[in-house]
Structure 1
Amino acid sequence: MPIPADSPPLSRTLLRNDVYRRLRDAVVDGTFAPGEQLRDGDLAAWLGVSRTPVREALLRLAASGLVVTQPGRSTTVSTIDESAVRDARDVLAAMHQLAVRESVGILSDGDLDRMRAANRAFAAAIDAGNVDTALDADEELHDVPVTVLGNTALISVLNQFGPVVRRAERLRFMSGGRSSVEAHERLIDLCAAGDAEAAAAVAFETWHSLPVASD
């Protein structure tokens, strides 16, 4: 589909991560369809930024598998590869399991409150049918243990493979997500109780249960 004409431009002081996030979400939500060619000049005009952060974002998306780049020729949105999604899902499940297990003992009351607030926002978004807000709230919740732990290698892995799995998450939340609300509640309660192994098991299952079409 063509570049949307009705989206407001982003601030010219936009950080590179915000450009990346905007383009990532446009791929995940289908604004840019599989097989569609992406031109950095068009994208830069759409976002109201220079080509440099757009090119950097496209390289990050290529590393994640959301786009396919042929240097000097073209960049296109990738098709959804079930095997790649399954592999990425399994990696994310293991990484979040590790993050939760190692962070339970250092999560503060404030950290737990942020997780609860994110889950309330997630539940409200699911009830309202707002999938994009639900995805953001889900990400915010699971980012708390990851951020608290501060393992840069783990964060790098999540940043690389997370966008591919976000597509699968979107499909789950489009068909409902109350079970995820309950899983989040169990996760938070176990973290609050200091039960690292049980909390890690819930984190693993939450991610590992994301459906892939042929599962």
Structure 2
Amino acid sequence: MHSNSSPKIKRTSVREEAYMILRDWIVQGILTPGQQLRDKELAEQLGVSRTPIREALLKLEDDGFVETKPSRSTIVSPIQFEGVLNIYSIVWTLEKLAMEQAFDFIEEKHLIEMEAINHEVKKAIDAGNQIVAVQKDDDFHSIYINLSTNDELKRILSGLKQKLIRIELFYFNQVSDVHLSVDEHDRIIQALRNGNSTMALNMIEKNWKESYIRIQAHSKRIKSGEDKYE
């Protein structure tokens, strides 16, 4: 782990800051699936007492990012493909709701911004920079989610997206056709430019569904042993 470059916590909400840092490390794979987490070690890394670390770990457990074993050891939750469809289906349903609420507020300047972000997604994918690619992908969807002005919807989606970002980063280098998300984004923009709300909603669902299908296909190949040489 990166003890020398670990960020030291300065803000007043120490528990929340510790939670955010640990969650980012789990999402980005710095803390790996199944890795044991020791509060003393983490406290030293972040320059805080053990109490906020323990509180952060409890919140991470509530969110499904860590697990406490019967022996009381805490580990990073394994990446399990089972149940992933549940998260994807909730995300595309809530994103479609956000789009319905945002549709009348989307202007050409927002479409230009979405095009620029999508270009950044493509650049990051081409460069093999998975963290930037996934973060820019999230930025793309955030344009219309923020325009929905539905704070509760944004809050729920934000939490769910972290779980999906973790899954997509985990599979990023192993899944073929990851570039297809750029084309799907283009179609969302095209539908919005044409004022076609039905098409925009359909493309949002297709975008998330295709991501799921790509990961599902890879997961099946692993189980059948087809990926030994990839």
**TM-score higher than 0.5:** yes
Is the contact made by 1:44 and 1:50 (CA closer than 8 Å) also made in structure 2? yes
**63 and 202 in structure 1: CA distance in 2 versus 1, 3 angstrom threshold:** farther
1:93 aligns with 2:89: no
State the alpha-carbon separation in 2 of the partners of residues 82 and 116 from structure 1: 31
Asked if 1:150 corresponds to 2:149, the answer is yes
Identity %: 33
Identify which range, 182-191 or 10-19, moves more after superposition.
10-19
Length-normalised TM-score, structure 2: 0.77
Describe the SS at the equivalent of 1:68: strand
**Bigger relative contact order, structure 1 or 2 (CA pairs below 8 A, ≥6 apart):** 1
Give 1 or 2 for the bigger CA radius of gyration: 2
TM-score, length-scaled by structure 1: 0.82
1:159 aligns with 2:158: yes
Q: The residue matched to 1:82 in structure 2 has which SS?
A: coil
Tell me if 1:13 matches 2:14: no
For the 8 Å contact 1:27–1:33, the answer to whether it is kept is: yes
What is the CA distance between 1:140 and its match in structure 2? 0.9
Please state if 1:204 is matched with 2:205: yes
Amino acid at match of 2:140: L
In structure 1, runs of 5+ residues without a counterpart are none
Matches within 5 A, 1:47-126: 47-48=46-47, 54-55=53-54, 57-69=56-68, 73-126=72-125
Give the AA of the match of 2:204: A
Shift of residue 207, structure 1, vs aligned partner: 1.0
Query: Contact (CA 8 Å) 2:11, 2:17: kept in 1 or not?
Result: no
Q: CA deviation at 1:214?
A: 4.2
Structure 2's unaligned 5+ residue stretches are 222-230
1:85, distance to aligned residue in structure 2 (A): 1.7
1:128 aligns with 2:121: no
Return the letter of the residue paired with 2:169. R
Whether the 8 Å CA contact 1:64–1:161 is kept in 2: the answer is: no
Deviations 1:13-58 (A, max 9, x none): 3877665443223223332122222233433433345656645543
- The alignment partner of 1:76 has SS state of strand
Greater Cα shift, 8-17 or 82-91: 8-17
1:74 CA drift (Å): 4.2
> C-alpha separation between the residues in 1 aligned to 2:104 and 2:169?
31
